[in-house]
Structure 1
Amino acid sequence: MFTSEFMTKFQTLWNQDETIPSTLKSINFSANVGYGIKREDQPKTVLIIKEGSVVDAKVYEGEELDWDIRCSEDNWKHYMVKGMGMSQLASGYAMGWLKFIKGDYFSMIKNPRMIGPFIKSFELMSKVYTELNQ
């Protein structure tokens, strides 16, 4: 999941999605979101979002992050195969399987215009993961 090819496909699906860009644009959401492995110094990849749309998705090169999301490799694979819903998000966070090194988890889950796109982004990542691992 942490490759340039993965991130390029993820960006395309994100920007083509009927709800994610428009929902995030409605709240003026812009952020650099890092994805990586727990206990590593830095994330593997970064998604650069401006007004809800992804303008760049790539291997992390030291960009300042607003969100930094980490899992073990096994947990990332689990979420890519099984998906992510509200209950998986809550249990993953509570059990420490899904870590937010940066970003406000609690403000996100209280805001439907943030949590919906977050959950849907995992669905898109899962589609890319499945496509690349067939």
Structure 2
Amino acid sequence: MADLFSPAWMARFVEEWNKDPELSDALAQIGFNSVIAYGYPEEEKPRAFLVVQNGKATASGVYTDQPLNWDIRAQHPQWLKWIEKSPGMTGLGMAFTTGKIKFKVGDYASMLKDPRMAGPFVKSFSAMSKI
């Protein structure tokens, strides 16, 4: 497996994202467009970004100050744990409550209240686990 959030890892994430209809097709149905960043809470900037257009991942790479809709952070061991075993909605809710996942940009609470977004968010971790 390539290093977490490296360009090679992110390229595989794009592939896995687009293969999962419960992720990409579900987001396409609501016209979801976003730039999502991933990284570690102790770092000033995220490590990587993913561009999603109409539900499909269209680009990814090293973060270079792109404007973001979401900036999701967790400690490296926590990311590895989720990649090993995808969390469910309850697990992510607990992670948010306990500070194991942080959103530097984006409204986690409103996303969770919208099942059209919450389900695909959980599925994004399943896509990560296939890399």
Instruction: Provide the TM-score with structure 2 as the length reference.
Output: 0.94
Q: Look up the equivalent residue of 2:34 and give its one-letter code.
A: A
Q: Look up the equivalent residue of 2:23 and give its one-letter code.
A: I
Q: Look up the equivalent residue of 1:35 and give its one-letter code.
A: Y
CA positional deviation for 1:123: 0.7
CA positional deviation for 1:57: 1.4
Question: Paired residue for 2:76, among 66, 73, 76?
Answer: 73
Instruction: Provide the TM-score with structure 1 as the length reference.
Output: 0.92
RMSD (CA atoms):
0.9
Task: For 2:90 and 2:50, locate their aligned partners in 1 and report how far apart those are by CA, in whole Å.
Answer: 24
* Aligned residue-pair number: 128
Task: For 2:125 and 2:98, locate their aligned partners in 1 and report how far apart those are by CA, in whole Å.
Answer: 18
1:103-134 Cα distance to aligned partner (Å, 9 max, x none): 01011111111011110110110111xxxxxx
Is 1:26 equivalent to 2:6 in the alignment?
Answer: no
Question: Taking every aligned residue pair, what percent have the same amino acid on both sides?
Answer: 38
**Structure 2 unaligned runs (5+)?**
none
1:90-112 Cα distance to aligned partner (Å, 9 max, x none): 11000000001110101111111
Which aligned runs of 4 or more in structure 1 are off by greater than 6 angstroms?
A: none
Is 1:95 equivalent to 2:106 in the alignment?
Answer: no
Task: For 1:10 and 1:27, locate their aligned partners in 2 and report how far apart those are by CA, in whole Å.
Answer: 21
Q: Hey, what does 2:109 align to over in structure 1?
A: 106
Q: Hey, what does 1:122 align to over in structure 2?
A: 125
Question: Paired residue for 1:49, among 48, 52, 56?
Answer: 52
CA positional deviation for 1:19: 2.2
Q: Look up the equivalent residue of 2:64 and give its one-letter code.
A: E
